[in-house]
Amino acid sequence: MVQRLQKVMATAGIASRRASEKLILEGRVQVNGQVVTELGTKVAGDDIIKVDGQTIEHQEEKVYFLFYKPRGVISAVKDDKGRKVVTDYFTEISQRLYPVGRLDYDTSGLLLMTNDGQLANELMHPRYHVEKSYLAKVKGIPTNEQIKALRAGIKLPDGHKTARAKAKILKIDKKKDFALVSLTIHEGRYHQVKNMFAAIGHPVQKLKRETYGFLTLDGLTAGQFRPLTFAEVKELKKQVRQKSNRILPFT
């Protein structure tokens, strides 16, 4: 990707963009061995940039997006079966994005997209206790004892017992034989939410992730996205880098 030289310098942490412009005008910057003094100069990822004789590490600018994934979309950058993938919604973004974790093909809701591999790996690690809340439409009406079982932890088919969770019935429809249940977890095992409800005898009919940490889908409809604000990115990094050993309370 081609970017303005001063932007690359600022992204690399050399100086602010304005201060980087001053360094260029003073003749202290070289690109591929040539001194550059024009502020409009653009550079690519394979160009060698030196400031005061020192080569800088310039990387693609980190970007962060909150995406409302629709149902019927794969949480991947490509699909060998030709199905629609999440990156199909970001064709005008020059950076190479990938999803943070995944949502099933038939699950909708909040998905983060970024090119920041370090933050993505931290967010996906269960030890950082990033809470994710889901709205599940389940077959049948769970009992109070079954909801308590979800809160206490469910033993899954693979032998893993889930961590404590928050669970609450929001709506019951006895005539149509379904319930809407809110479930908040901090783990991210394969099909975890579906497996938890299946384990108590109430399979999921429809599933939506509504929150990720403090982030919500407010203002978005399925298929839309927005960039995270600087404050939101800062808060995400703060949360995952302050490792917590707390236990989710019962609700």
Check whether 1 has a pLDDT greater than 70. Answer: no
pLDDT value of residue 247 = 39
Using CB atoms within 10 Å of the CB of residue 226, give its burial: 0 to 12 exposed, 13 to 18 middle, 19+ buried: exposed
**Same fold for the pair 3-55 and 64-240:** no
The Cα-based distances of 228 to 42, 112, 188, 215, 231 in angstroms read: 26, 9, 22, 9, 8
For residue 74, give the 3-state DSSP assignment: strand
The Cα-based distances of 245 to 10, 40, 70, 80, 183 in angstroms read: 36, 50, 33, 40, 20
Report the 10 Å Cβ neighbour count for 123.
21
Residues 13-55 have pLDDT tens digits of 788 888 899 999 999 999 999 999 999 899 887 789 999 999 9
How far is 87 from 218, CA to CA, in rounded Å?
21
Report the 10 Å Cβ neighbour count for 37.
11
- The structural domains of the chain, with segments of one domain joined by +, span 3-55, 64-240
Report the 10 Å Cβ neighbour count for 193.
24
**Which residue in 47, 88, 104, 177 is the catalytic one?**
104
pLDDT value of residue 120 = 87
Tell me which DSSP letter residue 161 carries. Answer: B
Token pair for 39: 């502020």
pLDDT value of residue 240 = 81
The per-residue pLDDT of the chain, averaged, comes to: 90
Q: Which one-letter amino acid corresponds to residue 91?
A: T
Check whether 249 has a pLDDT greater than 70. Answer: no
Using CB atoms within 10 Å of the CB of residue 49, give its burial: 0 to 12 exposed, 13 to 18 middle, 19+ buried: buried
Phi, psi torsion values for 36, nearest 5 degrees:
-120, 130
How far is 66 from 90, CA to CA, in rounded Å?
11
CA nearest neighbour of 132 among 239, 241, 227, 242: 239
CA nearest neighbour of 228 among 65, 116, 90, 100: 65
Q: What is the CATH number of domain 64-240?
A: 3.30.2350.10
Are 140 and 179 in contact, with CB atoms under 8 Å apart? yes
pLDDT value of residue 125 = 76
> Class for domain 3-55, per CATH?
alpha beta
Residues 187-197 have pLDDT tens digits of 888 899 999 99
Residue 104 bears catalytic tag: yes
Q: Is 232 or 251 the better-scoring residue by pLDDT?
A: 232
